[in-house]
């Protein structure tokens, strides 16, 4: 039996695409081993969104090829689209597979062991052509509804590596959901590069979501990261549906309007806060998390102070903070007034402090409330771990709990990383 290991870097979409590959190899009889173990095949699904991501991807490739000198090494994903020629010159990599051909990794490797060497670029390209994820991997699975982005934010390399925005046929989406829920998944995460821009022959994102919420099966729906510029008028109301998890990772990037303009974001602080306030008016406990970039070219102390102010006001329970890094080929690369790394680090640290403080406040506000927890893990001592619908990590004790079931829990107190509760 061939042994295969996987390493995924970057976003939820990448994780989903790796999960589908894992499922495909597992079904075909390959033994899935840990990335640190010796393997016959090693697949690295790379990320290139920041310089740090490139560096991590390079390190992984280097570690893996050193540890497995005789393995078939497949490097796939966004870094390939950004640095294909360099990667193709690396003799230690067997196959360099871009995003458009990533759905063929199984075919490439399996053919390889049958003595047939295929070139990735000559295989059919299908960005939605991924197999259904096997339920043994996680309790929740992503459903890819969209790929690519046409927004062209000035800092972002993603349109160059993921391509133009393209929306998946909704019939395929519904069928995919039917298959994964039949496989036993109880939570699906709607995923894409810019899902708010979903548009399939006039069917917009909120129409798609509305249809998904009415599909048969016992599952709940979560939305992955979303931009604040693609909402229709009925989007907020959809969250009244008991199946739709009351959490959004709504990307702010900056709390300063001049910086948002320079980033070429398609909203301003006021319109962003209008969304937050409208959701909180309808659903007071709604959980917002976000991404912020600190140290964008030209970001003054005053701009950053506004960002801190909004970070507090919006009460994001988690802020994923990025220090701005120059991406070649983006408009921001040519901007003046680049911010020194030391200043970026200091700003990043301040945002992390706000994030932590917001989290504690939010979690405290949830004490005494009920959550429906999807059981992910049961420890030997009987402690059950999972996430509530507000995307809160919850622990409680229940000797009879079973993995991948929904249980009602009352939240009692904070522990180190999340909340402790009592099964109801």
Partner 1 sequence: MSKIEIQSMIAPFTVTEVRDLCEASYVVRFSKRDLNFRPGQHLVVGVLGMSDAREYSVYSGRDEEYLEILVREVENGVVSKKLRRLNPGNNLEVNGPYGFFLTNAQPPANKKLLFIASGTGIAPFHSFVKTYPDADYTILHGIRTIDEAYEREVYGEGRYITCTSRDEKGHFHGRLTEYLKNLDIDKEAMVYLCGNSDMVFESIDILQEKGLSNSHIFTEVYF
Shortest gap between Cβ of 28 and partner 1 (angstroms)?
A: 20
Q: Choose, by CB under 8 A, the member of 10, 120, 163, 228 that binds partner 1.
A: 163
Taking CA atoms, 376 is separated from 176, 242, 387, 407, in Å, by 22, 20, 8, 11
Find the helix or strand (DSSP H, E) in which 87 lies.
helix 78-88
Give yes or no for residue 360 binding partner 1 (CB under 8 A).
Answer: no
Give yes or no for residue 300 binding partner 1 (CB under 8 A).
Answer: no
Q: Which is nearer to partner 1, 36 or 334 (CB)?
A: 334
Residue 288 burial (CB < 10 Å; 0-12/13-18/19+)?
A: buried
Q: Choose, by CB under 8 A, the member of 264, 312, 320, 369 that binds partner 1.
A: 264
Give yes or no for residue 271 binding partner 1 (CB under 8 A).
Answer: yes
Distance separating alpha carbons of residues 74 and 362, to the nearest angstrom: 42
Give yes or no for residue 150 binding partner 1 (CB under 8 A).
Answer: yes
Residue 383 burial (CB < 10 Å; 0-12/13-18/19+)?
A: middle
Task: Using the structure block, give the residue that is written with the tokens 């806060």.
Answer: 273
Distance separating alpha carbons of residues 48 and 379, to the nearest angstrom: 36
Q: Choose, by CB under 8 A, the member of 111, 123, 128, 414 that binds partner 1.
A: 128
What does the block give as tokens for 318? Answer: 């988690």
What does the block give as tokens for 125? Answer: 């390209």
**Interface positions, 164-193, toward partner 1 (CB under 8 A):** 164, 166, 168-169, 172
Q: Which is nearer to partner 1, 161 or 392 (CB)?
A: 161
Segment contacting partner 1 by CB under 8 A, of 57-65, 81-89, 150-158, 405-413? 150-158
Distance separating alpha carbons of residues 133 and 143, to the nearest angstrom: 9
Give yes or no for residue 278 binding partner 1 (CB under 8 A).
Answer: no
Q: Choose, by CB under 8 A, the member of 36, 179, 237, 334 that binds partner 1.
A: 334
Distance separating alpha carbons of residues 365 and 192, to the nearest angstrom: 31
Give yes or no for residue 266 binding partner 1 (CB under 8 A).
Answer: yes
**Interface positions, 18-77, toward partner 1 (CB under 8 A):** none
Residues 6+ apart with CB under 8 A from 359: 317, 318
Chain residues in the site for partner 1 (CB under 8 A): 100, 124-129, 150, 152, 154, 159, 163-164, 166, 168-169, 172, 257-258, 261-262, 264, 266, 268, 270-271, 274, 331, 334-335
């Amino acid at each position: 039996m061939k042994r295969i290991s996987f390493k995924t870097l970057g976003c939820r979409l990448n994780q989903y695409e790796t999960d589908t590959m894992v499922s495909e190899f597992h079904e075909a009889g390959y033994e899935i081993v840990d990335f640190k173990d010796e393997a016959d095949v090693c697949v690295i699904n790379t990320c290139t969104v920041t310089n740090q991501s490139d560096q991590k991807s390079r390190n992984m490739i280097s570690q893996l090829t050193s540890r497995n000198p005789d393995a078939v090494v497949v490097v796939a994903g966004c870094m390939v689209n950004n640095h294909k020629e360099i990667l193709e010159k690396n003799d230690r990599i067997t196959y360099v597979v871009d995003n458009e051909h990533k759905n063929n990794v199984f075919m490439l490797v399996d053919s390889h062991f049958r003595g047939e060497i295929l070139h990735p670029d000559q295989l059919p390209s299908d960005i939605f052509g991924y197999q259904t994820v096997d339920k043994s991997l996680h309790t929740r699975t992503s459903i890819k509804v969209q790929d690519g982005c046409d927004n062209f934010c000035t800092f972002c390399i993603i349109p160059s590596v993921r391509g133009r925005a393209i929306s998946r046929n909704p019939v395929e989406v519904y069928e995919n959901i039917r298959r994964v829920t039949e496989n036993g998944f109880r939570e699906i995460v709607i995923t894409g590069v810019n899902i708010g821009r979903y548009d399939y022959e006039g069917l917009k994102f909120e129409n798609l979501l509305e249809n998904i919420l009415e599909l048969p099966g016992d599952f709940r729906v979560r939305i992955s990261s979303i931009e604040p510029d693609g909402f229709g008028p009925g989007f907020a109301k959809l969250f009244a549906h008991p199946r739709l998890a009351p959490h959004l990772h709504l990307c702010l990037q900056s709390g300063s309007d001049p910086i948002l303009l320079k980033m070429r974001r398609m909203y301003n602080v006021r319109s962003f806060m209008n969304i937050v306030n409208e959701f909180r008016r309808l659903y007071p406990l709604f959980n917002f998390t976000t991404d912020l970039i600190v140290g964008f070219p030209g970001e003054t102390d005053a701009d950053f102070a506004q960002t801190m102010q909004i970070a507090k006001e919006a009460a994001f329970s988690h802020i994923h903070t990025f220090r701005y890094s120059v991406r070649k080929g983006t408009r921001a690369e040519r901007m003046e007034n680049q911010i020194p790394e030391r200043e970026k680090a200091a700003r990043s640290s301040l945002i992390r402090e706000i994030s932590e403080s917001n989290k504690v406040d939010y979690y405290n506000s949830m004490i005494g409330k009920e959550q429906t927890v999807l059981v992910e893990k049961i420890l030997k001592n009987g402690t059950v771990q999972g996430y509530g619908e507000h995307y809160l990590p919850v622990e409680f004790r229940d000797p009879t709990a079973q993995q991948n079931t929904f249980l009602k829990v009352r939240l009692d107190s904070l522990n180190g990383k999340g909340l402790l509760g009592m099964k109801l």
